[in-house]
Amino acid sequence: MNDKIPMPDICLYFQLHQPRRLRRFSFFDIGASHDYEDEAENRRIFNRVADNCYLPAGSLLLFLIKKFRGDFRLSFSISGEALDQMELYRPDILEIFQQLAATGWVEFLNETYSHSLAFLFSPEEFHEQVVKHRRRIKNLFGQEGRTFRNTELLYSNALALKMEEMGYRTILADGVDKLLADRSPNLIYRPAGCRNISLLLRDYRLSDDLAFRFADSNWSGFPLTAEKYADSINARGGIGTVVNLFMDFETLGEHKRKETGIFHLLEELPGALLKHPGCHFLTISEATKNHHDENIFDSPEVISWADEERDASAWLGNSMQQDAAKTIYGLEKKVRMCKDENVKKKWRILQTSDHFYYMSTKWSPDGDVHRYFNPYESPYAAYINYMNIVDDLSSIAGTSSRGKL
């Protein structure tokens, strides 16, 4: 145990999202069918992830929170699309999250409802999705959103200004090295140009130790135990610091299966950390209350937590992705003039960032991650399938005044 450096506070945050998978939609389906989702695949995957991750990990977290009586606490962001599927397929999972909320030691964040790229393309659509998500979180978990995290931690100065205008007190981003310029990500920052909103930065090295490297036997830190992880976090300590561990919730049991020992590490981690004097677990909002934001973080361009570039190229890095995004958001005026709310629902499902992620043509080590999550045989197949569906949506949006779908 390191007695010379104060133990930092710990901010543990999980993102939970599941996209709506699209069915294979050929050129000959355009105008003949308006059913875009692969409902059977949606149900199958959601149930698999629920059984592997959401149920065991959620139950374990609930046990740990009660065991440590508030000394262990954390934050969640759950996309609207995930909440919709949870309600439809696995209400037992939704009940676990409601029990977590009822403890008073779990914060639920706001994001875009459809896990979309709307901020980059449509201010009006972005605002509506945030408000819709905020209302859903309030209705399900009884919490007023005070913290915002954008889709895949996409962030810029302009986004921070917008969220400050919407009344949020905290926003999240990735601790991108080139913007930190040798500063620590484990401080509270003030977004450039803002006055009333604070910024928490993900410690991507420590987060990725758990999210990506944990089960890699070739990694120098393997095997990772709770005690070794706690010591690594302690080494990041210092006055006024908070270590932000941000990762996908699906890391627990889905991306890293039970057999890797991931649940054992999670069960042991709170105790291993709390043994260090001065260690406190904080929710996102508590972290910004307990620590001052004396440093400015300036991000004129868009950053994210994805890939080596840490920018928007995972979703908009090639001409197919750019064309697909431009086309779907280009339908906004037509969709808003539409009399059928079902058309808007379909339009928003098609905004989900995963659809553009599947079109990535990166062939670096990042490309392996893209291929792992891609249900299509190629990025080109993903693009063609998507654009066939968008063509069909465009046609029905233009004629929807003739009747409901």
Name the residues annotated as catalytic. 152
Distance CA 382, CA 379 (A): 5
Using alpha carbons only, how large is the chain's radius of gyration in Å? 21
Distance CA 54, CA 354 (A): 20
Buried/exposed code over 292-315 (b: 16+ C-beta within 10 A; e: otherwise): ebeeebebeebbbbbbeebbbbbb
User: Percent helix, strand and coil across the chain, each rounded to 5?
Assistant: 50, 15, 35
Q: Could you give the C-alpha distances from 323 to 6, 52, 315, 319, 386, in angstroms and in order?
A: 50, 36, 11, 6, 11
Ramachandran region, residue 146 (left: φ > 0; alpha: ψ -120 to 50; beta: rest) = alpha
* Strand extents, DSSP E, 63-187: 74-78, 106-108, 147-148, 170-174
In which element (H, E) is residue 381 found? helix 379-399
Distance CA 301, CA 190 (A): 16
Residue position matching structure tokens 């291929």? 371
Phi and psi at 85, nearest 5°, equal -70, -35
Distance CA 268, CA 361 (A): 39
* Strand extents, DSSP E, 102-192: 106-108, 147-148, 170-174, 188-191
Give the count of beta carbons closer than 10 Å to the beta carbon of residue 377.
Answer: 8
CA atoms within 13 A on the CB side of 108: 26
Residue position matching structure tokens 């209400």? 91
